[in-house]
Amino acid sequence: MIIGDPYSRDCPTRKVLDRIADKWAVLVLGLLMGGPMRFNQLRRTVDGISQKMLSQTLKSLERDGLVSRKAFATVPVTVEYAITPLGQTLADTVDALRVWAETHMEAVTAHQQRYDAGAASGA
Amino acid sequence: MIIGDPYSRDCPTRKVLDRIADKWAVLVLGLLMGGPMRFNQLRRTVDGISQKMLSQTLKSLERDGLVSRKAFATVPVTVEYAITPLGQTLADTVDALRVWAETHMEAVTAHQQRYDAGAASGA
DNA sequence: CTGTATCCTCTACGATACTG
DNA sequence: CAGTATCGTAGAGGATACAG
């Protein structure tokens, strides 16, 4: 049954991949590393996210235990989201990708340009 | 304009994220770590991938310089794909995610179940 | 302020068929 | 065997409006 085989359809590793695939989740997670934030505060900070996606992302992160939600019964309801210890471990891991990007993105871009130039001239 | 800010729309880090987001790319990359493979060989090994996606994925990986393509002018054309040194560095980084998954996936799943149970009862 | 529900579009992907 | 081109569909995600 090979539960650890990423090449089979049902594998926990693929699930993590899908979570990382969600760029909004990664972005929000990274943002919360800097401390708790409120809903609209997140929305304003993450460039381009819609309420729907933010809401959806936060709910998903909370369900996974990566982020915690705390509501305050103030007059206009206030909600604070914070990263959990578990979420912190994932965020740290994902951060390695950011480092990779910063280190190698230039090489990738350069290669893309060479590739595009070559493909255009029929090579 | 903060080009290095992942929270702005145009940021190299987001591009890497998008690449990782592509589970097929990750899967193929991981597979090629074990040595060069041919097109249909990859197709047979990666459970559930379509020719279209495999073709597309390989082309994309090649363009990024993460994978190299070598064609042999045999009677039925033979093509071999191999991971590049650059691709290797990414694969290694991504592997950290696999490790995270194996380490924490159980905790995540457990939390999901608790969450679902709580949400159902209205807590 | 913090969400949820609805609609609507747009694209990613699979299936299929065809070429070198 | 290795790919490309076309078509159809399902789902992701944005915009909007509404509710607690």
pLDDT (0 to 100) of residue A19: 79
Cα separation, A115 vs B2, in Å, equals: 28
Among A20-24, A96-100, B22-26, the minimum mean pLDDT is found in: A20-24
pLDDT (0 to 100) of residue A22: 84
Chain D positions within 7 A of any protein Cβ atom are 1-6, 13-17, 20
Fold classified for B13-121: Arc Repressor Mutant, subunit A (1.10.10)
Give the closest of B22, B27, B105 to A6, CB-based: B27
Reported pTM: 0.87
Quick one: closest CA in B to A119, which residue? B63
pLDDT (0 to 100) of residue A20: 79
Round the average pLDDT of chain B to a whole number and report it. 87
Domain boundaries, chain A: 13-121
pLDDT (0 to 100) of residue A9: 57
Count CB neighbours of B32 within 10 A: 23
pLDDT (0 to 100) of residue B113: 93
Instruction: Please name which of A34, A19, A42 lies closest in space to residue A94, comparing C-alpha atoms.
Output: A19
Give the closest of B18, B102, B116 to A23, CB-based: B18
Average pLDDT (A10-19) is 73
* Radius of gyration from C-alpha coordinates of chain B: 19
Protein residue closest to D15, using CA and C1': A50
Average pLDDT (A98-114) is 92
Which residue numbers in chain B have pLDDT < 50? Answer: 1-4, 122-123
Cβ contacts (< 8 Å) between B24 and chain A: which residues?
A: none
Distance of CA A70 to the CA centre of its chain: 21
Confidence band, pLDDT 50/70/90 cuts, at residue A3: very low
Contact status, residue A94 vs residue A28, Cβ threshold 8 Å: no
Cα separation, B24 vs A46, in Å, equals: 27
Instruction: Please check whether residue A66 touches B, CB under 8 A.
Output: yes
Give yes or no for residue A2 having a pLDDT over 50: no
Contact status, residue A112 vs residue B64, Cβ threshold 8 Å: yes
pLDDT (0 to 100) of residue A21: 78
The residue ranking higher by pLDDT, A68 or B102, is A68
Across the A/B interface, how many CB contacts are shorter than 8 Å? 136
pLDDT (0 to 100) of residue A123: 47
Instruction: Please name which of B63, B60, B56 lies closest in space to residue A115, comparing C-alpha atoms.
Output: B63
Cβ contacts (< 8 Å) between A94 and chain B: which residues?
A: 97
Highest mean pLDDT among A74-88, A97-111, B15-29, B105-119: A74-88
Give yes or no for residue A100 having a pLDDT over 50: yes
B122 touches strand C (CB under 7 A): no
Instruction: Please check whether residue B118 touches A, CB under 8 A.
Output: no
Contact B116 A9 (CB under 8 A): no
Average pLDDT (A30-39) is 96
Cα separation, B123 vs B121, in Å, equals: 6
Q: How far is the CA of A4 from the C1' of D15 (A)?
A: 41
User: Tokens representing B91?
Assistant: 């694969």
Question: How far B79 CA sits from the closest chain A CA (Å)?
Answer: 16
Count CB neighbours of A50 within 10 A: 11
Average pLDDT (A18-42) is 91
pLDDT (0 to 100) of residue B102: 87
